[in-house]
Chains A and B, each alone.
Chain A
Amino acid sequence: MGKAPVPLGLMFSQEGPYAAVGITMFRGAQLAVREIAADPAYDFGFAVQTAEPRGRNDGYVAGAQALLAVPGLTHVVGCYTSSSRKEVLPVFEKLDAILWYPSHYEGFETSENIVYTGAAPNQHVVPLTHYILSEGGRRAFMVGSNYIWAWENNRIMREILGRNGAQVLGERYLPIDEVDVDEIIELILRHRPDFIFSTLIGQSAYSFIRCLRRKCSQAGLDQPRDLPVLSCSLAEFELPLIGDACDGHISSSVYFSSVRSEANDRFLAAWGQSYPGVGPTSADAEASYIAVHMLARAIRRAGSAEPGAVLAALNTISFEAPQGLVQIDADNRHCFLWPRIGRSRADGTFEILHSSSKLVRPDPYLVWEPLALSAMAGEKMLRVVS
């Protein structure tokens, strides 16, 4: 009883500087591929081809070209960094193929050849800024890895803070993978902001948090309380990499492994069964999982994997994802998602402090976002969850 094979490319860097996230995204996508294969509601299954870019932009271009050369392969789930996405975009445009991009990113893009299943800025940095303002945070210090993710998120947060009477005391950038963070931390301790907004990634982020915790203890400060670190990227799989100092950090994400829903229970069970001993799920794994399920639904609805037909079907599909019911805004091909604010715990998971009370429409260019806190007061965007 053969299911018709539909070729699908998976392109994640499971080696190289951000292998940890690449591996977790690949696992999320693979899990969905297996679920589609086992689901009698689909008369097709994905025939997976993989490419390994090793975190290098030229590796992504070569990988995309190789995948799209496979007969009948017009959909690829992959990429993590914005630079990799921008690098491969011309390949997808030229060959009229679709990239399913499963990562939160800084927005300001709506390519006709990309479907974005991760959070846009109005679904991560904007709710995070509103959260900290509502908590009384008025004086920020920003520290980030020196690339577009940090620059743009800092700009967005700085603008919202400015419109609401809060201020940025300082803004510093480190080269990617830099782990010498002492000087910045000394500077932060002299400024004593209400909170630190970190857009550091990878090793820089882990070193920063460890060193900050240590120096705060030496100075008699309770770091999570006195100098909380906020980010839009800290995820479950990173907490063991931080070690002892992994608890008490605020993260804005559409998914945490601690979300309570039937769909998440199923996701967690399937994850644990498929990947025993690798730790909890995370937002990146979930976004990849969503991408494959959404693609499968669009193909089923369209009756074809042809890119034009699949794109035309996007506005008719939805998916009961682990984070909640999600759907695609056919207008900009980003997803309606569920913003949440979590605080990391020593056990490697997040306590969910706030959840959006409604599905949030993607606004990649922040066209519709009320940037002043007062403008959203009546809307009550976040509610406390018990």
Chain B
Amino acid sequence: MTPQIRSNFRGVRAWVALPEDQNREVLLRTLERLGLSTYARCPDATDFVVGRQDVAFVDADQDFMVLDADIPHIAVIGIEAPSRLARVVRHRASSVLMKPVRATGIFTALFLAFNEHAIRQRELVERANLSRRAEGRRAVVKAILKIMKDDDVSDDEAYRRMRVASMTRRIPIEEFAAQTVAASTSSMRLADTAAHERKSKQP
């Protein structure tokens, strides 16, 4: 499914940690025009509160406060020196804005930051799912072998039974596999659908 692209930032709360100068003035004015509420701060401001801001503009030229919040970051860059730029990369800025700040470019920076951040968040969730599955793989293999042996079925059938059983219980197949392996007998754990035929086969 194509992810929804966001293009309206009305009501967004922007943390703007830049020196009080023309750049900040243009940025604040343009953000407010775009419907955001702004919180103008100095680059070393420490009163950032997680949950109260939706996007942060940080000054890449200064020793900015690293914000411990999973919100879009936009690095405002004047000095194109590798040492400064490296920090922008390390702090995973979701987009950048060049100095001198002009009205042109701010909407683009905001647009990219929000949509890029949303993609990253989706990818994080996907990655967590993948690692969970990767971690559970050993248990899945063990459980398949166990069911094949206990129930005298093919690997495909063993996997099918396990999938049906985990779906019935509404748990990930990896978790079900781990339970199956941990249990003394697979028959106690397998899905109700398969339970009857299995029981009939038991001596």
Q: Does B107 contact A (CB under 8 A)?
A: yes
A219 to chain B, nearest CB (A): 35
Q: Does B83 contact A (CB under 8 A)?
A: no
Beta-carbon contacts under 8 Å, B1-41 to A: 8-10, 26, 30, 33-35
The residue that B35 contacts in the complex, of A89, A109, A112, A367, with Cβ under 8 A, is A367
Inter-chain contacts of A332 with B (CB < 8 A): 33
User: Do B34 and A367 touch across chains, with their CB atoms under 8 A apart?
Assistant: yes
Inter-chain contacts of B169 with A (CB < 8 A): none
**Given A331-B33, A367-B34: A112 and B8 within 8 A (CB)?**
no
User: Do A108 and B102 touch across chains, with their CB atoms under 8 A apart?
Assistant: no
Inter-chain contacts of B35 with A (CB < 8 A): 365, 367-368
B149 to chain A, nearest CB (A): 55
**Given A367-B35, A368-B35: A109 and B104 within 8 A (CB)?**
yes
Could you tell me how many residues of chain B have their Cβ less than 8 Å away from some Cβ of chain A?
A: 12
| Of A89, A93, A365, most B-chain CB atoms within 10 Å | A365
Dominant secondary structure at the B interface? loop
User: Do A367 and B103 touch across chains, with their CB atoms under 8 A apart?
Assistant: no
14 example contacts (A-B, Cβ-Cβ < 8 A) are as follows A93-B102, A110-B33, A111-B103, A111-B104, A112-B26, A331-B33, A332-B33, A365-B33, A365-B107, A366-B8, A367-B10, A367-B33, A367-B34, A368-B35
Nearest B residue to A109, CB-CB: B104
Please report B residues at the A interface, Cβ cutoff 8 Å: 8-10, 26, 30, 33-35, 102-104, 107
**A368–B35 Cα gap in the complex (Å)?**
8
User: Do A112 and B102 touch across chains, with their CB atoms under 8 A apart?
Assistant: yes
**A89–B103 Cα gap in the complex (Å)?**
12
Nearest B residue to A371, CB-CB: B8
Q: How large is the interface on A (under 10, 10 to 19, 20 to 34, 35 or more residues)?
A: 10 to 19
User: Do A108 and B33 touch across chains, with their CB atoms under 8 A apart?
Assistant: no
Inter-chain contacts of B9 with A (CB < 8 A): 367
Give 9 closest A-B pairs by Cβ, nearest first.
A367-B35, A367-B10, A112-B103, A110-B103, A365-B34, A332-B33, A111-B103, A367-B34, A331-B33
**A366–B10 Cα gap in the complex (Å)?**
10
Inter-chain contacts of B26 with A (CB < 8 A): 112
Inter-chain contacts of A367 with B (CB < 8 A): 8-10, 33-35
Beta-carbon contacts under 8 Å, A323-373 to B: 331-332, 365-368
A37 to chain B, nearest CB (A): 34
Nearest A residue to B11, CB-CB: A367
**A365–B32 Cα gap in the complex (Å)?**
12
Nearest A residue to B32, CB-CB: A331
**A368–B26 Cα gap in the complex (Å)?**
21
Inter-chain contacts of B34 with A (CB < 8 A): 365, 367
B76 to chain A, nearest CB (A): 17
Binary per-residue interface labels of chain A (217-259) against chain B in the complex, 1 for a CB within 8 Å, 0 otherwise: 0000000000000000000000000000000000000000000
Inter-chain contacts of B104 with A (CB < 8 A): 89, 109, 111
B13 to chain A, nearest CB (A): 15
User: Do B30 and A110 touch across chains, with their CB atoms under 8 A apart?
Assistant: yes
A83 to chain B, nearest CB (A): 14
